[in-house]
Amino acid sequence: MKEKTRTVARMGMLLTLAVVLNLAEGMLPALPMLPPGVRLGLSNLVILYAVSYLGGRQALLLAVLKSGFVLLTRGPAAGFISLCGGLLSVLVMVLVSRTGLSILTRSMAGALAHNLGQLLAAALLLGSWSVFYYSPVLALSGIVMGSVTAVLTRATLPALRRIRPPRR
Protein backbone atom coordinates (compact mmCIF):
# COMPACT_ATOMS: atom_id res chain seq x y z
CA MET A 1 0.00 0.00 0.00
CA LYS A 2 2.83 2.39 0.83
CA GLU A 3 4.40 1.92 -2.62
CA LYS A 4 1.09 2.63 -4.37
CA THR A 5 0.78 5.86 -2.40
CA ARG A 6 4.30 6.88 -3.41
CA THR A 7 3.56 6.09 -7.05
CA VAL A 8 0.37 8.18 -7.02
CA ALA A 9 2.19 11.06 -5.32
CA ARG A 10 5.10 10.87 -7.77
CA MET A 11 2.78 10.83 -10.77
CA GLY A 12 0.82 13.75 -9.33
CA MET A 13 4.01 15.78 -8.92
CA LEU A 14 5.16 14.94 -12.45
CA LEU A 15 1.77 15.80 -13.95
CA THR A 16 1.75 19.08 -12.06
CA LEU A 17 5.24 19.86 -13.32
CA ALA A 18 4.18 19.06 -16.91
CA VAL A 19 1.09 21.27 -16.61
CA VAL A 20 3.04 24.17 -15.08
CA LEU A 21 5.69 23.93 -17.81
CA ASN A 22 2.95 23.84 -20.45
CA LEU A 23 1.30 26.93 -18.97
CA ALA A 24 4.60 28.76 -18.59
CA GLU A 25 5.51 28.04 -22.20
CA GLY A 26 2.11 29.32 -23.30
CA MET A 27 2.86 32.64 -21.58
CA LEU A 28 6.14 33.11 -23.41
CA PRO A 29 6.00 35.35 -26.47
CA ALA A 30 6.42 33.58 -29.78
CA LEU A 31 10.06 33.51 -30.74
CA PRO A 32 10.43 35.45 -34.01
CA MET A 33 12.91 32.98 -35.52
CA LEU A 34 10.60 29.99 -35.06
CA PRO A 35 8.13 28.96 -37.77
CA PRO A 36 4.40 29.08 -36.94
CA GLY A 37 3.26 26.28 -34.63
CA VAL A 38 6.76 25.37 -33.45
CA ARG A 39 7.16 25.36 -29.69
CA LEU A 40 9.89 24.34 -27.31
CA GLY A 41 7.71 21.63 -25.77
CA LEU A 42 9.01 22.19 -22.25
CA SER A 43 6.47 19.83 -20.71
CA ASN A 44 7.90 17.03 -22.83
CA LEU A 45 10.96 16.93 -20.60
CA VAL A 46 8.70 15.38 -17.94
CA ILE A 47 7.59 12.72 -20.42
CA LEU A 48 11.19 12.08 -21.46
CA TYR A 49 12.14 11.67 -17.81
CA ALA A 50 9.23 9.27 -17.26
CA VAL A 51 10.18 7.14 -20.27
CA SER A 52 13.82 7.05 -19.19
CA TYR A 53 13.38 6.41 -15.47
CA LEU A 54 9.84 5.24 -14.70
CA GLY A 55 8.87 3.18 -17.72
CA GLY A 56 6.51 3.26 -20.64
CA ARG A 57 3.25 2.71 -18.78
CA GLN A 58 3.74 5.66 -16.48
CA ALA A 59 4.95 7.83 -19.37
CA LEU A 60 1.85 6.90 -21.40
CA LEU A 61 -0.37 7.75 -18.44
CA LEU A 62 1.32 11.14 -18.07
CA ALA A 63 0.92 11.82 -21.80
CA VAL A 64 -2.80 10.97 -21.64
CA LEU A 65 -3.34 13.11 -18.53
CA LYS A 66 -1.38 15.99 -20.06
CA SER A 67 -3.61 15.76 -23.14
CA GLY A 68 -6.63 15.85 -20.83
CA PHE A 69 -5.35 19.16 -19.50
CA VAL A 70 -5.01 20.46 -23.07
CA LEU A 71 -8.55 19.26 -23.80
CA LEU A 72 -9.90 21.16 -20.80
CA THR A 73 -7.99 24.38 -21.49
CA ARG A 74 -7.88 24.55 -25.30
CA GLY A 75 -10.77 22.41 -26.54
CA PRO A 76 -11.40 19.07 -28.23
CA ALA A 77 -9.33 19.61 -31.38
CA ALA A 78 -6.24 20.65 -29.44
CA GLY A 79 -6.79 17.81 -26.97
CA PHE A 80 -7.03 15.25 -29.78
CA ILE A 81 -3.93 16.62 -31.52
CA SER A 82 -2.05 16.59 -28.22
CA LEU A 83 -3.14 13.03 -27.48
CA CYS A 84 -2.08 11.72 -30.89
CA GLY A 85 1.29 13.46 -30.71
CA GLY A 86 1.89 12.43 -27.12
CA LEU A 87 1.00 8.76 -27.56
CA LEU A 88 3.10 8.30 -30.70
CA SER A 89 5.98 10.15 -29.06
CA VAL A 90 5.95 7.95 -25.96
CA LEU A 91 5.70 4.76 -28.01
CA VAL A 92 8.68 5.74 -30.14
CA MET A 93 10.73 6.85 -27.12
CA VAL A 94 10.02 3.55 -25.37
CA LEU A 95 11.16 1.62 -28.44
CA VAL A 96 14.30 3.75 -28.80
CA SER A 97 15.10 3.45 -25.08
CA ARG A 98 15.12 -0.35 -25.42
CA THR A 99 18.02 -0.04 -27.85
CA GLY A 100 20.15 1.67 -25.21
CA LEU A 101 20.60 4.82 -27.30
CA SER A 102 21.25 8.14 -25.58
CA ILE A 103 18.69 10.44 -24.04
CA LEU A 104 19.44 12.86 -26.91
CA THR A 105 18.45 10.25 -29.50
CA ARG A 106 15.36 9.33 -27.48
CA SER A 107 14.33 12.96 -27.26
CA MET A 108 14.84 13.73 -30.94
CA ALA A 109 12.96 10.56 -31.97
CA GLY A 110 10.16 11.46 -29.57
CA ALA A 111 9.93 15.02 -30.91
CA LEU A 112 9.79 13.79 -34.51
CA ALA A 113 7.11 11.24 -33.59
CA HIS A 114 5.17 13.90 -31.68
CA ASN A 115 5.10 16.13 -34.74
CA LEU A 116 4.08 13.21 -36.97
CA GLY A 117 1.27 12.26 -34.57
CA GLN A 118 0.03 15.84 -34.54
CA LEU A 119 0.11 16.01 -38.35
CA LEU A 120 -1.85 12.76 -38.58
CA ALA A 121 -4.43 14.10 -36.12
CA ALA A 122 -4.70 17.40 -38.01
CA ALA A 123 -5.14 15.51 -41.30
CA LEU A 124 -7.97 13.48 -39.77
CA LEU A 125 -9.66 16.55 -38.32
CA LEU A 126 -9.36 18.57 -41.52
CA GLY A 127 -10.06 15.68 -43.85
CA SER A 128 -7.02 16.63 -45.91
CA TRP A 129 -3.47 15.35 -46.23
CA SER A 130 -2.27 18.80 -47.30
CA VAL A 131 -1.03 19.43 -43.74
CA PHE A 132 1.91 17.16 -44.58
CA TYR A 133 3.38 19.90 -46.78
CA TYR A 134 4.51 21.37 -43.45
CA SER A 135 6.32 18.17 -42.45
CA PRO A 136 9.84 19.28 -43.53
CA VAL A 137 9.57 22.31 -41.23
CA LEU A 138 8.30 20.13 -38.39
CA ALA A 139 10.98 17.50 -38.99
CA LEU A 140 13.75 20.08 -38.70
CA SER A 141 12.12 21.69 -35.67
CA GLY A 142 11.64 18.25 -34.09
CA ILE A 143 15.35 17.58 -34.29
CA VAL A 144 16.23 21.01 -32.89
CA MET A 145 13.58 21.09 -30.16
CA GLY A 146 14.23 17.44 -29.29
CA SER A 147 17.87 18.38 -28.73
CA VAL A 148 16.86 21.33 -26.55
CA THR A 149 14.54 19.07 -24.52
CA ALA A 150 17.36 16.55 -24.02
CA VAL A 151 19.74 19.27 -22.81
CA LEU A 152 17.11 20.66 -20.43
CA THR A 153 16.31 17.17 -19.15
CA ARG A 154 19.99 16.54 -18.42
CA ALA A 155 20.19 19.90 -16.62
CA THR A 156 17.15 19.14 -14.46
CA LEU A 157 18.04 15.51 -13.69
CA PRO A 158 19.53 16.29 -10.27
CA ALA A 159 16.17 17.70 -9.15
CA LEU A 160 14.12 15.04 -10.96
CA ARG A 161 16.16 12.21 -9.44
CA ARG A 162 14.87 13.22 -6.02
CA ILE A 163 11.45 11.88 -7.04
CA ARG A 164 12.85 8.77 -8.68
CA PRO A 165 11.39 5.53 -7.34
CA PRO A 166 13.56 3.51 -4.96
CA ARG A 167 15.57 0.69 -6.54
CA ARG A 168 14.37 -2.81 -5.74
- Are 141 and 114 contacting, i.e. CB atoms less than 8 angstroms apart? no
Residue 168 in domain: no
Angle in degrees, CA 63, 60, 151, rounded to 5: 65
Percent of the chain with pLDDT over 90: 65
pLDDT of residue 168: 45
Residue 131 in domain: yes
CATH code of the domain in which 9 resides: 1.10.1760.20
H helix intervals, the chain: 2-27, 44-53, 56-74, 76-97, 103-126, 135-160
Q: How confident is the model at residue 164 (pLDDT cuts 50, 70, 90)?
A: low
pTM score, whole prediction: 0.88
Residue 41 in domain: yes
Residue 151 in domain: yes
More confidently predicted of 53 and 142: 142
Per-residue pLDDT tens digits for 37-56: 788 888 888 999 999 888 99
Per-residue pLDDT tens digits for 13-38: 999 999 999 889 888 887 777 788 78
Residue 120 has pLDDT above 80, yes or no: yes
Residue 70 in domain: yes
Per-residue pLDDT tens digits for 32-41: 777 887 888 8
Residues in the chain: 168
pLDDT mean over 106-126: 96
Residue 64 has pLDDT above 60, yes or no: yes
- Counted domains in the chain: 1
Q: How confident is the model at residue 163 (pLDDT cuts 50, 70, 90)?
A: low
Give the separation between CA 60 and CA 89, rounded to whole angstroms: 9
Domain coverage including residue 49: 2-163
Residue 136 has pLDDT above 50, yes or no: yes
Residue 50 in domain: yes
Give the separation between CA 162 and CA 64, rounded to whole angstroms: 24
